[in-house]
Structure 1
Amino acid sequence: MKSLASREETLLSAGIDIGTSTTKLVISRFSLMNMAGGSHVPRIEIIDKEILYRSPIFRTPLLSATVIDMEAVDRLVKQEYEKAGVKPEQIQTGAVIITGETATKQNAEEMVHHLSAVAGEFLVATAGPDLEGMIAAKGSGAYDYSKKTGKAVANIDIGGGTANAAVYENGKLSGTCTLHIGGRLIEFKEGKVSRLSVPVERLVQQKGWTLAKGAAKDHPDIEKVARYMAAVIGRMLDKSLTAEDEVLLLGHPPQWSGAVDAIVFSGGVSECIYQAEDRQAAAEGYNDIGTAIARAIQEEHSLQRYEWREPDETVRATVLGAGTQTTNISGATIQVESSQLPQKNLPVFEVSFEYEASAGLEKLRSSMEEAIAVYDPGREGQNFVLYFTHLPHLSFRDIQSVAKELIQCRQLKPKPSQPLVIALQSDHAKVLGQTFQALKPEESVLCIDQIEVEQGDYMDIGQVLDSGVVPVVIKTLTFHS
């Protein structure tokens, strides 16, 4: 058997994106290797990612305007796994995301939890609009381009219901913004408008236009709506949205601080922007305003000041991001029990030590009480992660003091028998976990490190790999309305 220092290990990842208009799936293989020298603490990293299978693009199955057809999605996923030659039990990580307007469906939350049971032992995340934008930027190549060049690159992922923007500068997230801009916000049937979304209805009313359900497909206001949407994208990019534009804003305004250098479009509408598919065929096939928005974006004067970059992926950017960019690998010096894994959907509560052991110790009890109040107000036993940040150098005596205090704090939980889950920025997980177990061998603790996460995120921890690390997916569970 090869030593840990030289052995390469692989794991399979699935990405499933259930969007407003389309559903797609990718299967990827990650290669992991210890990148530290033989005499150093192991540092396991993902050294390669290979896409093994890309599904066709399917129309998202719906039972009605407000309900996802769960059985049809289930059949679709099983069918695509068979075509890819993989079984659910082989999938070790990845993400399921429900994006755009699909996240507002009545059974969206039920859908993702159902898929987690049938699609493999991996993370289930419905992306909130911010996370959708971040994942799409990684799948489209915008993130990599920002890393290579140091430029501020905005990725605008335009699907059926939303345009999710994420700006990365030098590989770091500068900010996000989401707009009610998407192909299916106006739909046609038999040459007439069959559906106007609520944001479009409000825009039409605000502008005093006459567009209404039943209007002809070539009604002049349709062009006005598309052109207004393209102009709003321009104003979003330079952070000059007006009060009038807020009708198309979903959530917070743009958050990035500096100027944007380059823009990349991804999502279904980008297929028409970059003419990856025949525009006439797309207009007839989808019976919506996606092609009109694409044309308006190409002609929008305010967007010409930016460098335009073509994406690595257009309509599959989000699913590729979900399948290949959401997985982290823990540090190798961790303390976990295989019998307690996987752990899913654990909210994260940050405890800053402020670079002093005494400051952290003083906070542990109040932090445990606050985490219970925030994440388990009904005291039903929702488990969570305590995330220790800004740690100083900890002596063995400090570690013992923290472990003893955690043992006391654990009794505050409605279900003290649950595994205590601790994540650390720094490399202290094994010694803290082992000290805890030496003091209280009958109680379970999962202690992982070298993880970057934020309060309010959710964490899934997968099964232990041969190299002794665990896959970790950080996500946002948001079912927006």
Structure 2
Amino acid sequence: MPDRLTSVGIDIGTTTTQLVFSELIIDEGGGFGAVPRVAVVDKRVTYRSGIHFTPLLSPVAIDAEAVRRIVEEEYRIAGVAREEVHAGAVIITGETARKENARSVLRSMEGLAGDFVVATAGSDLEGILAGKGSGAEALSRRSGSVVVNVDMGGGTSNVAVFREGEVSDTSCLNVGGRLIRVSSGGVVQRVSPSVFPLLSSLGLNLVEGDVLDLEGAEMICARMAALLDELFELVPRTPLLMDMLTSHDLRDPGIPMDGVFISGGVGDCVYGGDNLDPFAYGDLGVLLGRAVRSTRLFAIGGGVRPEETIRATVIGAGSHSVELSGSTIGFSDQAVFPMRNIPILKLTPAEEEGCLSQALREKVLWFMDYEGAHQTVAFAFRGIPNPSFEQVQVMAERIIDGLRGYLASSPVLVVLLERDMGKALGYALSSRLPEGIKVVSLDGVKVGNGDYIDIGRPLARGRVLPVVIKTLVFGY
């Protein structure tokens, strides 16, 4: 009989904080003699919270206790007790992830759900999550096309490019609706340092107390929106673009696109908000949304509204796919188990067959936080069918070459393969790694970007490992 699980997702963003409860229906699949696979067979949202302004103690500090009170009150309104929640995830996004006490806020959220994926998202991961929530990834997979998602919030615009359902590129701009806060009369209340280069390019020097008229606000928003066209080389690039990137440029800015979604709070204003006051939310979000509609990038999307806009980044709890990885697994030290909540970076088939080392060097940066520290990551590959000894050795060399920077600070290398070559690749990797770095190499495991994995202690005298794949639920 199918089981029903309650999951929670909490998003603490630059502008807003929100929560979603979902019911996940899981059932066991697999035929006679096959390892059972538990998967989500249906899901539905049972509760959507109100959308709250994220409380701040100061421009550089989140009010952790106030955030916790918001979450606890939403639990009460939803009629959900903590012990009834089986899984969940919390994410701090945008400029909020840069606040001085972001980590303490995450700690204050612990205990509100059964199995939190507690991580401060960097802009790349945040963009990928939003692209899943908006429906961009699913559309790209269904149609075999290239779909871009731009998640425009209060502080940043996170870009993810999906090619045939796989993430092929990411970037992020300091473009957001709440970088300048104003009163209903246009009196400037705060200007984020992130927007200083753009203001300077326009010859503006806004400070608290200045009056920003409608014409000036529209000029600022038009320049912000134009950066999206520059990012994708739809218009000539200017030096300002490099100043407004939060970290790195797109690898392939001129990629032909089949569709474009705009999500996030500004996305709400892109596809609606015509009747709102220009300063309705005490910022430039409404005007920025209107400006985006005039870009060439938006025209590519044809005005098709994504499945979700402001709620795209809210993470529903993980759907649990329980299986055993056995037969040809490899691990160098069972003391590393259990491993929990390890994010997955999946390489595309083209990257595996082409410049694998370069792809690893670039994509592992998705999992670097704003302080420059790497998370532990599980690297997923399709693998080679019936590989020769030489092919296994070459693959091991390419993996290590691409991850030298990552391995300098990580004590364990986790590799996941769809095809049966886990033990052979594990041995090849172990023989090449410096002393002290542990290897976990599993096969028969199919995962995707945005998933997380738990790996339990070895069973059956070390012949199998219990694996829990948590596929984050976005497209509700």
TM-score where L is the length of structure 2? 0.74
Alpha-carbon distance in 1 for matches of 2:240, 2:434: 53
Shift of 1:105: 0.2
* Secondary structure of 1:227 counterpart: helix
The Cα of 1:423 is off from its aligned counterpart by: 5.0
- Structure 1 position 318 matched with structure 2 position 313: yes
Q: Give how far 1:108 is off.
A: 0.6
CA distance in 1, matches of 2:258, 2:394: 46
C-alpha distance in 1 between matches for 2:232 and 2:296:
13
Deviations 1:172-222 (A, max 9, x none): 223122111111111113631122222322222233235444321316432
Pair 1:72-2:72 in alignment: no
Q: Corresponding residue for 2:347?
A: none
Deviations 1:216-255 (A, max 9, x none): 1316432211111111112223465432322222211123
Q: Which residue of structure 1 aligns with residue 245 of structure 2?
A: 249
Contact 2:260–2:297, Cα closer than 8 Å, also in 1: no
Between 1:40-49 and 1:93-102, the stretch displaced more is 40-49
Percentage identity across paired residues of the two chains = 32
1:155 to partner: Cα distance: 1.5
> 2:316 is paired with a residue of what secondary structure?
helix
Describe the shift of the 1:451–1:150 C-alpha distance in structure 2 as closer, same or farther (beyond 3 A): closer
Partner of 1:478: none
* CA distance 1:356–1:11, change in 2 (3 Å): farther
Distance 1:390 1:64, change over 3 A: same
User: Could you tell me whether the CA contact under 8 Å between 1:330 and 1:451 is conserved in 2?
Assistant: no
Residue by residue, what CA displacement relative to the aligned partner does 1:87-131 show, whole Å, maximum 9, x if unpaired? 333333332111110010001122213323443322112221111
Say which is worse superposed, 119-128 or 296-305, in terms of deviation.
296-305
Residues 197 and 24 of structure 1: CA distance in aligned 2, closer, same or farther (over 3 Å): same
> Shift in Å at residue 170 of structure 1?
2.6
Q: How big is each residue's C-alpha offset from its partner over 1:25-70, in whole Å with a ceiling of 9 and x where there is no partner? A: 1111222233322333333332222112111101101111111111
Match of residue 206, structure 1, among 198, 201, 219 = 201
Q: State yes or no: 1:192 paired with 2:205.
A: no
Following TM superposition, by how much is the alpha carbon of 1:278 offset from its aligned partner in structure 2, in angstroms? 4.5
TM-score, scaled to structure 1: 0.74
Task: After superposing the two structures, state which structure 1 stretch, 349-358 or 75-84, moved more.
Answer: 349-358
Task: Tell me which residue corresponds to 1:387.
Answer: 415
Question: Structure 1: which 5+ runs fail to align?
Answer: 1-6, 415-419, 428-448, 476-481
3-state DSSP of counterpart to 2:17: strand
The corresponding residue for 1:343 is 340
Question: Do the aligned residues in 2 keep the contact of 1:157 with 1:165 (CA within 8 Å)?
Answer: yes
Distance in 1 (alpha carbons) for counterparts of 2:339 and 2:191: 43
Aligned twin of 2:370: none
Letter in 1 for 2:256: A
Cα contact 2:24–2:319 (8 A) shared by 1: no
Deviations 1:65-85 (CA, angstroms, capped at 9, x unpaired): 111111111122222222223
Over 3 Å counting, the alpha-carbon distance change for 1:35 and 1:112 in structure 2 is same
Deviates more, 1:286-295 or 1:45-54: 45-54
- Kindly indicate whether residue 110 of structure 2 is the aligned counterpart of residue 116 of structure 1: yes
CA distance in structure 1 between the partners assigned to 2:3 and 2:441 by the alignment: 24
CA distance in 2 between counterparts of 1:117 and 1:363 reads: 41
Q: CA deviation at 1:412?
A: 5.8
2:417 is aligned with 1:422: no
Instruction: Decide whether aligned partners of structure 1 residues 412 and 93 sit closer, same or farther in structure 2, where only a CA change above 3 A counts.
Output: farther
Partner-residue secondary structure (3-state), 2:47:
strand
Q: Cα distance 1:393–1:402, how it changes in 2: closer, same or farther (>3 A)? A: closer
8 A contact 1:92–1:462 mirrored in 2? no
Q: State the partner residue of 2:359.
A: none
C-alpha distance in 2 between matches for 1:171 and 1:458: 14
- Higher radius of gyration, 1 or 2: 1
**Amino acid corresponding to residue 167 of structure 1 in structure 2:** V
- Equivalent residue for 1:36? 30
Q: Distance in 2 between matches of 1:226 and 1:147?
A: 33
Distance 2:109 2:439 in 1: 25
Equivalent of 1:94 in 88, 91, 95: 88
Cα distance in 1 for partners of 2:18, 2:87 equals 17
Deviation at 1:171, TM superposition (A): 1.7
Cα 1:142–1:389 change in 2 (3 A) is closer
In structure 2, the CA distance between the partners of 1:124 and 1:40, relative to structure 1 (3 Å rule), is: same
CA distance in 2, matches of 1:33, 1:44: 5
1:12 positional shift: 2.6
**Deviation digits for residues 143-172 of structure 1 (CA, Å, limit 9, x no counterpart):** 222223233221211110011121223322
User: What are the equivalent positions in structure 2 for 1:80-229 lying under 5 Å apart?
Assistant: 80-189=74-183, 191-218=186-213, 220-229=215-224
Q: Which runs of 5+ in 2 are unaligned?
A: 343-374, 458-464
Give the aligned length.
420
- Within 5 Å, give how 1:15-54 maps onto structure 2: 15-54=9-48
Name the aligned partner's letter for residue 28 of structure 1.
S
The verdict on how the C-alpha distance between 1:29 and 1:36 changes in structure 2, with shifts beyond 3 A counting, is same
